[in-house]
């Protein structure tokens, strides 16, 4: 019967896990080696005020069989590093290392990270092959925080964002209503009740489309586009992001995706207007390559596609 291997993410470990790591990785459960795992976390979180986590693989009876450690870059929060990877000898060549790396990348995707980096000894052919098999590419050497990796080969993998854009129908009116309420003050608009949102989303108007932007399965933003009937320019008529998910690139993701949507339909440009005091929205559009073409109580932006 195939053995069940469990992969878990642990931000702090437990005393039991720290002892198992010391015993399996360094063949000793003496305090010196148990504290090595503790110190990796202590140095990052307590001394440096940084973030880190471990990926732990367990076999039958929760016996530890592998582990890797991930650290966030101090100057670029979207860049992470993984190291201290090991799999016990009897479980090697079973794809467990690759599973742990993919688990780390999946977790980092949920956290909004963009790149995962590792360093490999040049003569470690097996590790080089492993990196390539899970999507890493060798890149010119750069340092990472204060880790001493001079002379090693550097590999990086891009982390796909766990964000999608789906049509918003009457069935999603509840989500849109909650997101709207969270943003109503900055939108400077009249209240739109749940019943009104249901009505708006139920209308099949060929001139407009409604979208939800989801992080995983969870709706975190809403976007409406108008001007789809005739003409060469579409308009983003409404965009708002959940309160706890702002400044995480979700608005930019929505804008860039809807640009692709209208470009595929033959539009030559896309425009939007914001209130003059909505500086975060203006910053988002400028970052996405839009240019101001009108300014007053409303600021108008346009981008050629």
Bridge partners for 83 per DSSP: 69
Measured distance CA(301)–CA(294) in Å, rounded: 7
6-158 and 163-304: identical CATH topology? yes
Question: What mean pLDDT do residues 197-223 have?
Answer: 95
Question: In this predicted structure, what is the pLDDT of residue 230?
Answer: 78
Domain boundaries, the chain: 6-158, 163-304
Residue 2 confidence (pLDDT): 60
For 86-124, what is each residue's pLDDT tens digit? 999 999 999 999 999 999 999 999 888 999 999 999 999
pLDDT in tens, 56-76: 999 988 899 999 999 999 999
Q: What is the mean pLDDT of the chain?
A: 93
Least confident among 46-50, 146-150, 268-272: 146-150
Look at residue 1 and tell me whether its pLDDT is greater than 80: no
| Residues 167-183 pLDDT 10s | 999 999 999 999 999 99
Instruction: List 291's β-bridge partners, or say none.
Output: 302
pLDDT in tens, 284-296: 999 999 999 988 8
What CATH class does 163-304 carry? alpha beta
6-158 CATH, one of 3.40.47.10, 1.10.3470.10, 3.40.50.2020, 3.40.630.30: 3.40.630.30
Beta bridge partners of 56: 8, 67
CB 71 within 8 A of CB 145: yes
């Amino acid at each position: 019967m195939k053995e069940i291997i469990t992969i878990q993410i642990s931000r702090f470990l437990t005393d039991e896990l720290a002892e198992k790591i010391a015993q399996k990785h360094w063949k000793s459960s003496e305090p010196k080696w148990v504290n090595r795992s503790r110190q990796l976390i202590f140095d990052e979180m307590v001394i440096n005020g940084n973030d880190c986590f471990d990926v732990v693989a367990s076999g039958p009876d929760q016996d530890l069989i592998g582990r890797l450690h991930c650290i966030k870059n101090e100057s670029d929060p979207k860049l992470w590093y993984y190291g201290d990877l090991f799999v016990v000898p009897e479980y090697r060549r079973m794809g467990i290392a690759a599973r742990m790396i993919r688990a780390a990348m999946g977790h980092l995707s949920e956290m909004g990270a963009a790149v995962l980096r590792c360093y490999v000894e040049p003569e470690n052919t097996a590790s080089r092959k492993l990196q390539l098999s899970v999507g890493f590419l060798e890149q010119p050497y750069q340092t990472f925080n204060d880790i001493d990796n001079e002379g090693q080969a550097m590999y990086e993998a891009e982390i796909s964002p766990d964000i999608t854009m789906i049509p918003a129908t009457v069935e999603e009116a509840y989500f849109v209503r909650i997101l709207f309420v969270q943003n109503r003050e900055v939108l400077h608009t009249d209240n739109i009740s749940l019943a009104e949102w249901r009505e708006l989303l139920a209308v099949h108007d060929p001139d407009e489309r409604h979208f939800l932007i989801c992080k995983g399965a969870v709706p975190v933003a809403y976007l409406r586009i108008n001007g789809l009937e005739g003409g060469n320019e579409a308009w983003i008529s409404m965009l708002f992001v959940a309160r706890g998910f702002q400044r995480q690139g979700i608005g930019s993701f929505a804008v860039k995706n809807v640009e692709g949507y209208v470009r595929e339909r033959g539009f030559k440009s896309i425009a939007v207007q914001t209130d003059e005091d909505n500086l975060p929205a203006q910053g988002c559009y400028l970052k996405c390559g839009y240019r101001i073409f009108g300014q007053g109580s409303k600021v108008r932006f346009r981008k050629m596609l």
